[in-house]
Amino acid sequence: MKTLVSATWLHQHMEKPNLVILDASSATNGGTIPKARFLDLDHAFVDASSPFPNTVPKLEQFELACQNLGIDQDSEIVVFDTKGIYTSPRVWWLFQLMGHRNISVLDGGLPAWIENGFETVTEHLKPTKKGNFKSDYQTDMVVTFDQIKANIDQQKFVIVDARSAGRFNGTAPEPRKHLQSGSIPNSVNLPFEEVLENGRFKSAEEIKNLFQGILKEPQEMVFSCGSGITASIILLASAIGYEKSLKLYDGSWTEWAELNQLTTDN
């Protein structure tokens, strides 16, 4: 499957027997695509025992959540969200992390579907049987705090931060009010909005130019943001138009600031 599919493509392939459509929206009260199943990214697909938000779930938890959604080993997945492009790249990355490559993001999400005049429904599809999905965890795709800390001296990779320029430069506040804004040493900034236009990804050529503008030379990249969601957007953009680097600092700035005691009390 392609990394991105259009609303027209999805509409034409709705009857594929092994197609699974996942709605990864956090708010789902405005209608959805027919046959879409609700993927609860806020609860079922995060590690609730972690002190940090949006932490990657444990392998067994992810596997069971997918089976409960009726997802099989051979399922072809299309994921979307109601904002166009927001949470869907995170789900795309999670499936890559768990070894399932047969997944695409609906470019433009639900708004693109509606723009095309395609039907929406008010209820999500409820699976009637469990799937046989199995995870194959790709350990090297999740970068840890210790690896980030060591890299300040080693500089084996460059951290690409998806937060706004104000938060990255320490001139705008963090949404988590007790944390200072700022950036990890030696990281570069590519606000996630810059790779998007009207809720869709920009062209591969435009994305390539954006990455070439912030990186002096091709380097291994690790993506970061506030808590791991918008980092997935620029990670996916890189896979579309620059080079495929699937490594993400899952704790992102929230973990970095907490563990380094970069709080507003200091």
Measured CA to CA, the distance from residue 48 to residue 58 in angstroms comes to: 10
Q: Which of 225, 237, 239, 257 is catalytic?
A: 225
Reading phi first (left if > 0) and then psi (alpha if -120 to 50, else beta), residue 253 is in alpha
225 is catalytic: yes
Q: What is the 3-state secondary structure (H, E, C) of 149-178?
A: HHHHHHCCCEEEECCCHHHHHCCCCCCCCC
Phi, psi of 239 (to 5 degrees): -65, -30
Q: Which amino acid is at 124?
A: H
Which residues lie closer than 8 Å to 197 by C-beta, 6 or more apart? none
Q: Which strands make up the sheet holding 36-38, listed edge to edge?
A: 4-5, 103-106, 76-80, 19-23, 36-38
Active-site positions read 225
